[in-house]
Amino acid sequence: MGTEIIIALLLVGLLFFLLITGLEIGWAVGIVAVTGLLYYVDQPVGQLAETTFGSLNSFTLTALPLFVFMGGILGNTGVNTSLFNAIEKWVGVLPGGLACSVICGNAVFGAMCGSTIAATATFGKIAFPVMEEKNYSPKLALGSIASGTVLAPLIPPSILLILYGSWQGLSIVDLLAAGLLPGITLMILFIITIIVQVKLNPELAPETVNYSWRVRIRAIVDVLPFAGVILGVLGAIFAGLMTPTEAAGLGAFLSMILTIAYRKLTLEIIMVSLLDTVKVTSFSLFIMAMSTLISHVFNSAGIIPMIQDFVIALPIGKYGILILFFVMYFFMGMFFDSWSMLFLTFPFVMPVITGLDINPIWWGIVYVMAGEQSTITPPFGLSLFVLKGVVPWHSMGTIVKGALPFLIPIYINVLLLFLFPEIALWLPGLLKGGGG
């Protein structure tokens, strides 16, 4: 058994060596998995095809490219400018009103696409110029844009939750429903964070603006088309009228109708969105297949059960182990994105979660926040780099300083989920009860 552990450590070391050299994570995991399959557990190469096909042979996964395409259409056409302007008419009365509008806009945009990258690029382009023109502190403006995108993979439909649920064989409907209330509480905590910062330092934002009721009512009318898309997709899923895949198809169709109505849709945008969809889908599914294979290798060698027994036996209790995982994701998030961490760690983490009898639906929501904090943590925060590309005239240091205070509401939201698990589990339970 000692020799097997040494070989397992060598494989893990090989994986990190390949990642450090700059090899893409899917290929790095794949090389290690195939090496372990052939030389560690001595199984035929045909097992590669059997395991990877089994991991991807899921009707649920067909929702992934449809939701990615939906987000691409909405993001690339820029129709969210109308959404942002309409929300600002209502939220602008709060201290740091435009920053608060960015948070609310991200919540609504997340309910239409579930993509962190799309949300960051979109609000970086449409919101920051307005905030800069109105003399908002670049630190507050950029921080609110970068952190608000954490809402996109939490509020349904979430691409990350779809991948997690499909991989682990969980109900996608339950996962999407579980993310809704935590997404709303995190949105509220983000807004409170902005208000507190502006109250402590009024120079961060200009005076608030009050709009007449006529302007506000007109803003509601502007939001209705977006609300129609959201209600059409989520309503169809939660009411049991459509599977997530069918609802994703409806969402993609409605997004095209919406952008046509705004006269924003062009053939070029469709082609770019389709290409983005192929890139994101193929990238994520390839990593998922290779991660399943490496999980098979370590399971066959008995390493994963050994890790499970070791971690569960730690004298820190169930919540101590969960906190340990959260700390692990905090440090990993400095170097990996949430998708990479999902595929790298879940072959080892999920057996522990199962062994501790932790609800996998609840854990999925906690992981999204644990993983998505990586998008705003230096040195390799994904949202930070995307935003730097959108506004290159501001330093990375300014973006980082603006984003770091928003880690606090993420931690508070996770603490609330620890103390009150029903925040995530109430709605899935209600939907099951309603469905009989």
Compute the distance between CA of residue 98 and CA of residue 92 in angstroms, rounded to an integer: 6
Mean pLDDT of 186-191: 95
Specify whether the backbone of 263 is left (phi greater than 0), alpha (psi in -120 to 50) or beta.
left
Which pTM was predicted?
A: 0.85
| 87/425 Cα distance (integer angstroms) | 29
pLDDT at 16 over 80: yes
**Is 29 buried (19+), middle (13-18) or exposed (0-12) by CB count in 10 A?**
buried
Phi/psi-derived region of residue 205, left when phi > 0, alpha when psi is between -120 and 50, beta in every other case: beta
Kindly tell me if the per-residue pLDDT of 391 is higher than 50: yes
* CB proximity list for 219: less than 8 A, separation 6 or greater: 85, 86, 87, 89, 90, 211
Which amino acid type is present at position 66?
L
**How far apart are the C-alpha atoms of 227 and 111, rounded to whole Å?**
9
pLDDT tops 90 at residue 381: no
Percent of the chain with pLDDT over 70: 98
pLDDT tens digits for 257-288?
989 988 888 999 999 999 988 988 888 888 88
95-100: average pLDDT: 91
Rounded distance between C-alpha atoms, residue 88 and residue 102, angstroms: 8
Torsion angle in degrees (nearest 10) through CA of 320, 162, 78, 402 = 10
Q: How confident is the model at residue 436 (pLDDT cuts 50, 70, 90)?
A: very low
DSSP string computed for 257-319: HHHHHTT---HHHHHHHHHHHHHHHHHHHHHHHHHHHHHHHHHHTTHHHHHHHHHHTSTTHHH
Tally the C-alpha atoms within 13 A of residue 155's C-alpha that lie toward its C-beta.
25
Residue 2: pLDDT band (50, 70, 90) is low
